[in-house]
Structure 1
Amino acid sequence: MIFDLSNYRKNYYNDSLLESLVPKEPFQLFHDWFQQEKLFHKTNNDYEINAMSISTIGKDGGPETRIVLLKEYSEKGFIFYTNYYSFKGKSIQNFPKVCISFYWKNTERQIIVKGVASKIRKEKSDKYFKKRPKGNQVGCWASKQSSPLPSKKYMLKQYEKWDNFFKRKTISRPFYWGGYIIKPYNMEFWQGQPNRLHDRLIYNLDKEKNWILYRLSP
């Protein structure tokens, strides 16, 4: 059975992305784009503009991609949180180079970041864990992320068990859960343009830790 999707297309009409108008370092451009995207969602909290795909290399040597949430960014890098024993956690331990990407349909933009991931300080993970809703905190204890489950019912029973355990206790952060920071060495900014002549600007970190800017063909 064949499902023809050849007529699924749109054109892009946003402003051009020009070398003369972008900052010297990519983090400022990322921040500017993020803030501009936020303007479209002041009254719509359902759309998670901090959602990003992250690709890692699995133990079989193949790529693995999933969606996670960006929780902090700065000139130092991009931070997200997960179970260290999950597929992505084990993949990062074995091969710390990763790729993250963002797609923002309202501004017709993509950002692709290649970087090296490493664990953040325990104190910082503790601080973020305390901010999480209680249900999410309990879930960290109940779920052995990426491990096989006998059934959905079993998972719910595990949650109920840990929820009861923490009824009158402060929920501490599990040692196997915390944050990673991705320190970029390559960042691509993609701006949709008419006739598929998209703008693609690359910031690449050279050996002297300077960002070199160049353009790619669409």
Structure 2
Amino acid sequence: MALSLKKHINTLNLNLKIIIISVLLCFPLFTQAQEDKKIYTSTNILEIYKNTEGTLIHQQNKLNKGWGFELNSLHGIFILKKFILSAGIGINFNIDEEYKSIPAILEVRFNLYDYGLNSPFVLLNTGKNIKIGSFLPGQTAKLGVGYNFESDYNFQYTIEIFKKSKTYYTSEVQDVNYNYPADGYGVSVGITF
């Protein structure tokens, strides 16, 4: 009886050792697989753009030649390693007319290479300006191309060129005569992590 119990304990100890060794051997494989699966991404970007359209502004036909700049913070998820769906917020200043806005943005980005590492990309973003204090309501849209330069796996430098279309509502009555369009072209630089 004692011999049978001792044999059973030895078998349990051997099975436990095999399980522990198997887990220890497989653990690096699990952690390595997790490092390869980058799911979330964040981009902070500074845009500088030049307005280029001739349009009707406050019932006067004139060319809007103002400059603008915008700082955005976008946070998103990777879909199928190449697509990024992001949402974020920014702050925008249109210099010549002194209009400012706080855009809430949705962006879709397609990277040529997985996870956007050293990759060209195309992007489309759109959003609505939030009315807070002297910040004007309105709409925004951007179509662009860019490139991510990898510093390391978790940090990249980003550059973009784009076409931007913005509309500021300068009146509570969103009448076209009181809208300020700001369409133009620009360049962005930023970081992605």
- So what's the TM-score if we normalise by structure 1? 0.31
User: Which of the pair has the greater relative contact order for Cα pairs under 8 Å at 6+ separation?
Assistant: 1
- So what's the TM-score if we normalise by structure 2? 0.34
Q: Which has the higher strand share?
A: 2
